[in-house]
Amino acid sequence: MELKFTSLSSKAISLAPLKALSSEAESLSFPSSEPTKQQQQQLPLRIIPGDYGLPFFGAIKDRLEYFYSDGGRNEFFRSRQQKYNSTIFRANMPPGPFVASDPKVIVLLDGKSFPVLFDLTKVEKKDLFTGTYMPSTNLTGGYRILSYLDPSEPKHEKLKNLIFFLLKSRSNNVIPQFHSNYTDLFDSLDIELSKNGKASFSGNDQTAFTFLCRAFYGTDPKDTSLGSDGPSLVQKWVLFNLSPELSLGLPKFIEDPILHTFRLPSIFVKSDYKRLYDFFYGSAGFVLEEAERQGISRDEACHNILFATCFNTFGGVKIFFPALMKWIGGPGNKELHSRLAQEIRSAVKSNGGEVTIATMEEMPLMKSVVYETFRIDPPVPLQYAKAKQDMVIENHENSFQVKKGEMLFGFQPFATKDPKIFERAEEFVGDRFLGEEGEKLLKYVLWSNGPETESPSVRNKQCPGKDFVVLVSRLLVVEMFLRYDSFEVEATKSALGYDLNFISLAKATS
């Protein structure tokens, strides 16, 4: 069968979740087994448990426990949840001194309270994309980049529209470019596997970066002075942005002072960043022209599209693609693989061998496994928002008073594994989102900083790349099961995501 990977039409990438959902505009309401609004109002008021300890020392103690205690970050949250018998409590979040002036947060761990972080009538999202500290603007050309802007700031709308413009203008290139770049990657994985008995998925970094540059800007970095340095330059720059909240697995007496106590000086990454900037300035003329038409300088626009491409998109895909392979390739999923292969191949066949957005709408199981991975392993796990007013927040058992100015922090992997919302919440259930009942659960999938049933707009902080990300994640699964009947992986945790090896890739037999 000859396969064609084409985009459907010139319309913007826009995906219906599993099928057109009538609940699209529905706000986050709970199914009938949940308390009614009136009952919710009667939930007993409880003082938020937990404390911040002594000034300075309390923050350091929490930081060391978060990074270095047995069980790490998950245990940090789980043990406190148990101790306070509450999914809402007070704690300090890293980095604390001397990087963040105020580490105090109210932690939200359940799927009911978490969505308050998206309610911009109640919270503000200014300068807290990375949490209780904001990286130096020296790392971003002196600008506060879109991700740090609250929708109440006039620039937010202009810059978000620019990202929508970029995605819409280039939507026809995504499917063909994805196919071409990822075919090369899988060709090389096949060779590596046959030589060494295993093949590292680390080549995904170079492939993803090249794919993004070709799809978004029509330029292959290898044809420019950037060459193949893009991914390593981005990684170093991201480390300088995120070091206060990362662990690289070094001994704590080395790592904690270097990464978490002071900021890494931006001067050490200046020339690397300049190379990236020059590449984008030279390749993204059509976006910079549009920016000028909208009253944004070419310089500010260029720093913003660099950030959107390298930090938001490359960073996200670098984390999420290995996660997708890890969860689908997990032990005991052989039967799931054969169902996926059968579904994907028959949909492609009945659409004349074409892989399009419409073809993928006929693959409900494939769509469900992608959503399930976003649920069980959300790629951006930490979300912050500041209370704009005094308010009451609720988990399943209680209500809690929050004061204006307090920082709310949601640890998403717990919210999307809330056992009161999801059955077998800790398990990867590939077909969880199938059928009417499954679709109802999509509003609790929150990876894009909003429910999966809602859409990004200039008025909210939901990821503008939401549809693009869902599309490329689906394409990866489709590519896999057009090529292979089944596969097995080995994965180990890394600073951001997983290091993943394929230990078998069984070629398609039908």
Contact between 147 and ligand HEM per CB under 6 A: yes
Among 51-59, 61-69, 145-153, 423-431, the segment contacting ligand HEM (CB under 6 A): 145-153
Site for ligand HEM (CB under 6 A): which residue of 135, 410, 464, 497? 464
Residue placing its CB nearer to ligand HEM in the complex, 3 or 382 = 382
We find the least distance from the C-beta atom of residue 102 to ligand HEM, in angstroms, to be 18
> Which one of 170-178, 235-243, 334-342, 465-473 is the stretch in contact with ligand HEM (CB under 6 A)?
465-473
Which structure tokens are listed for 336? 């799931």
Q: Compute the least distance from the CB of residue 200 to ligand HEM, in Å.
A: 20
Q: What is the DSSP letter of 243?
A: G
Site for ligand HEM in 420-459 (CB under 6 A): 447-449
* Nearest distance in Å: CB 233, ligand HEM: 18
DSSP state of 45: B
Residues 6+ apart with CB under 8 A from 4: 352, 353, 354, 355
Mark 350-360 as b/e (b = at least 16 C-beta within 10 Å).
eeeebbbbebb
Return the structure tokens found at 59. Answer: 């923050």
Minimum CB separation of residue 147 from ligand HEM in Å reads: 4
- Identity of the residue, 246 or 469, whose beta carbon is nearer to ligand HEM in the bound complex: 469
| Dist. CA 467–CA 456, nearest whole Å | 9
Quote the CA–CA distance of 116 and 410 in Å, as a whole number. Answer: 9
Can you give 436-477 as a three-state secondary structure string? HHHHHHHHHCCECCECCCCCCCCCCCCCCCHHHHHHHHHHHH
Rule CB under 6 A: say whether 497 interacts with ligand HEM: no
Rounded Cα distance between 250 and 242, Å, is 16
Query: What 3-state class would DSSP assign to 222?
Result: helix
DSSP letter at 307? I
Under rule CB under 6 A, residue 283 binds ligand HEM: no
Sign of CA dihedral 418, 423, 427, 429: negative
Q: Report the site for ligand HEM in 299-328 (rule: CB under 6 A).
A: 308, 312-313, 316-317, 320
CA distances (Å), 357 to each of 40, 61, 246, 260, 354, in order? 40, 49, 36, 43, 10
Stretch 387-426 residues interacting with ligand HEM (CB under 6 A): none
> Is 96 an interacting residue with respect to ligand HEM (CB under 6 A)?
no
Q: Is 287 in the site for ligand HEM (CB under 6 A)?
A: no
Q: Using alpha carbons, select from 315, 427, 423 the residue that is nearest to residue 376.
A: 427
The verdict on whether omega for the bond into residue 95 sits within 30 degrees of 0, i.e. cis, is yes
Determine which residue in the list 108, 174, 393, 463 makes contact with ligand HEM, applying CB under 6 A: 463
Residue from 420, 146, 186 nearest 325 by CA: 186
* Residues touching ligand HEM, count (CB under 6 A): 27
Q: How far is the CB of 381 from ligand HEM (least distance, A)?
A: 9
Are the beta carbons of 353 and 423 closer than 8 angstroms?
Answer: no
Q: How far is the CB of 371 from ligand HEM (least distance, A)?
A: 13
Question: Which of 468, 487, 498, 502 is the binder for ligand HEM (CB under 6 A)?
Answer: 468
Smaller CB separation from ligand HEM, 96 or 464: 464
125 binding ligand HEM? (CB under 6 A): yes
Q: Which is nearer to ligand HEM, 43 or 496 (CB)?
A: 496
Burial class (CB in 10 A: 0-12, 13-18, 19+), 361: middle
Q: Say whether 463 counts as a known binding-site residue.
A: yes
**Residue located via tokens 């944004």:** 296
Q: Which of 171, 359, 383, 416 binds ligand HEM (CB under 6 A)?
A: 383
Q: State the nearest-atom distance from the C-beta of 12 to ligand HEM, in Å.
A: 13
CA–CA separation, 262 and 67 (whole Å): 16
Q: Which stretch binds ligand HEM (CB under 6 A): 30-38, 56-64, 69-77, 378-386?
A: 378-386
Residue from 63, 80, 90, 160 binding ligand HEM (CB under 6 A): 160
Residue 322 or residue 329: which is nearer to ligand HEM going by CB? Answer: 322
Task: Return the range that interacts with ligand HEM (CB under 6 A); candidates 388-396, 429-437, 462-470, 488-496.
Answer: 462-470
Q: Does 213 bind ligand HEM (CB under 6 A)?
A: no
CB-CB contact of 444 with 416 (8 Å): yes
Interacting residues toward ligand HEM by CB under 6 A = 125, 129, 146-147, 149, 156, 160, 163, 167, 308, 312-313, 316-317, 320, 379-380, 383, 447-449, 461, 463-465, 468-469
Q: Which residues are annotated as a binding site for heme?
A: 463
